[in-house]
Amino acid sequence: MTNIITYDNQFNANEWFVIVALFLGLFVTFKLPSRFSRKLSALYFLCGISFGAFFDLTLGTIPRSFYDIGDSSTYQFVDFLSLLMYGPFSYLFFYLYDFLKLNLKLSPLYILSWTLLSLGTEWLGVQLGVFHYHYGYGLQISFVIYLIVHSLWVLFFYLMKLADTTG
């Protein structure tokens, strides 16, 4: 049986981080001029939520939880909101990639830039008590995960572009 860990019982910085990140991301996402069809926009938005849920629910759950999110090792409402905050993040990733009209030669630099931005955001989340690491998990592992995820997103972008041109 896994012991429940409580980190704090207050509504404080970690909840505010998630709420502000989510609403700021949504605000920016909906204020940007449209670049994609509604279906593709939804797909790009869901990429972040899906990948975030996959990693948060596989690496952050029993039998071995490599990290906890929020005030407790149990799942809470703010943890659900934290999954949603990945949606605007992924949409902006695809939006800027398309807006900048990057070619494949510049993709590694773009991927690295977003990986560093992701690490910086996660680091801030750690400082504010959003993430609590266990069993040696840390930013070095997240770095590799972000590189892989962002690389897959660039591949997905080109697959969607190819699907759009071939009908």
pLDDT tens for each residue of 49-80: 999 888 877 776 667 777 777 766 677 788 78
- Of 59, 55, 52, 54, give the one whose Cα is nearest residue 81: 52
pLDDT given at position 63: 72
Whether the per-residue pLDDT at 153 is higher than 90: the answer is yes
> What pLDDT is attached to residue 60?
64
**pLDDT at residue number 1:** 46
- Least-confidence region, from 38-47, 99-108, 126-135, 139-148: 126-135
More confident residue, 137 or 164: 137
Domain map (residue ranges) of the chain: 13-166
Q: What is the pLDDT of residue 2?
A: 63
- pLDDT of res. 167: 62
- What six digits make up the tokens of 140? 């070095």
86 exposure class (CB count in 10 Å sphere: 0-12, 13-18, 19+): buried
Question: What digits encode the pLDDT tens for the residues 97-126?
Answer: 999 999 899 999 999 999 999 999 999 999
Q: Residue 68: phi, psi to the nearest 5?
A: -110, 155
CA pair distance 158, 140, nearest whole angstrom: 28
pLDDT confidence of residue 127:
94
Residue 131 bridge partners (DSSP): 69
How confident is the model over 149-153, as a mean pLDDT?
98
Which one has a higher pLDDT value, 163 or 65?
Answer: 163
The 10s digit of each residue's pLDDT in 12-39 is: 898 999 999 999 999 999 999 999 999 9
Residue 20 dihedral angles phi and psi, to the nearest 5°? -65, -45
